[in-house]
Amino acid sequence: MTKLTRRDVLAGASALGLAGLAPRGASASGSMTAAIYPGTWEEAYRAVVAPALKRASGVDVAFDSLFAVDQVAKVRAARGVPPFDCFVLDPGPAAAARAAGLFEPIDSAKLTNAPKVPAGLITRDGVTCNAQVVGIAYNPKKFPTAPKSWTDLFQSPFVERLGLTGFQTTFGTVSLIEMCKAFGGSEANMEPIFTELKKAVSKVAAVAAPAAMPGLFQQGQIDVMYTNTNTVAILKGRGVDIAFAAPASGAITFQTTLHIVKGAENVANAHKYIDVAISAEVQNALQRSPYNMIPINKDVTYVDTLDIKSIDELAKMVTHDWTRINPQRAAWIERFNKEITK
């Protein structure tokens, strides 16, 4: 016999125009649904988090593979019938979802691993599950001396081997903002970086979508790019000659966070899912190849394949205010596509 959850009932009722008459009392005990990024994140959470959740709580998790902006759009389109129980988001989409009122509160008392997470990484509506660090990746065999600053990327010999990508991703956006600052601009004045990009575009090795950059680097079509340490570690694991360099102004960090969707069907199980995701066992597994995710649990000793040595380094890195970035980001993406990608 097929077991229908409240989500199934409401979805069916909505299709029939009967959503207002549907019962809301039933709950799917022992299961939940979580959105997850496609690719490495999905592989890691299916291989590590899902089995750990099953062992710890007997809860089965089904994953909905979606990029962050698509998660937010899907929940907004669902109009109060959440298609999944948990988001996984980067700071820009998280700020947009928060502004739209799409999060349930987090009850930290239900997170047994909360004391193992540094202060500030658990908020009223989100829990950091992993950190990301962004800087410059380069081929040390082609360049024995690493680029030392963001401005170096626009000079020989680096510019001729540079891969440019735009504002579609979090790492691309924050990198271009820091480049802009290095040329005298700011989040409120991005003209300096567009001026430099226009000068450089005829010289660079490639202008491509963010997802294409690792492949171009692996194929030797570019030897310099801006990216996160996760990508560097993955390419290293494939035997690619690649190293990470923090610019003199500092590496950038941002956090990936888990949130419970407003009106989620399985709030209790969502808390269990989040608790397992930040546990030392899971965090230790996720930092290892092929996932290479930076752990946030204080009990985890960092492996030497990561490009930082401890969680304490994150406090010294560059961060950004996404409530200021989000209102401008769409225009930056459009302008990059129009003036640089062409």
| 248-259 pLDDT per residue, tens | 999 999 999 999
Q: How far apart are CA 137 and CA 303, in angstroms?
A: 19
Answer yes or no: are the C-beta atoms of 161 and 223 closer than 8 Å.
Answer: yes
Answer yes or no: are the C-beta atoms of 294 and 230 closer than 8 Å.
Answer: yes
Q: How far apart are CA 318 and CA 296, in angstroms?
A: 17
pLDDT of residue 29: 59
Q: How far apart are CA 212 and CA 232, in angstroms?
A: 14
Structure tokens at 17: 């125009």
pLDDT of residue 18: 36
Peptide bond into 82 cis (omega under 30): no
- Which ranges in the chain are annotated with CATH 3.40.190.10? 31-131+254-315, 133-252+321-341
pTM reported for the whole predicted model: 0.81
pLDDT in tens, 123-140: 999 999 999 999 999 999
- Residue in 141, 124, 128, 213 with CA at minimum distance from that of residue 175: 213
pLDDT of residue 40: 85
Q: How far apart are CA 139 and CA 131, in angstroms?
A: 24
For residue 210, CA distances in Å to 10, 106, 242 come to 37, 32, 17
Q: How far apart are CA 262 and CA 244, in angstroms?
A: 39
pLDDT of residue 307: 86
Q: How far apart are CA 168 and CA 202, in angstroms?
A: 21
Q: How far apart are CA 274 and CA 288, in angstroms?
A: 20
Q: In the chain, which stretches have pLDDT less than 70?
A: 1-29
pLDDT of residue 305: 87
Q: How far apart are CA 27 and CA 4, in angstroms?
A: 9
Task: Just give the CATH number of 31-131+254-315.
Answer: 3.40.190.10
pLDDT of residue 319: 94
CATH superfamily for 133-252+321-341 is Periplasmic binding protein-like II (3.40.190.10)
Answer yes or no: are the C-beta atoms of 54 and 269 closer than 8 Å.
Answer: no
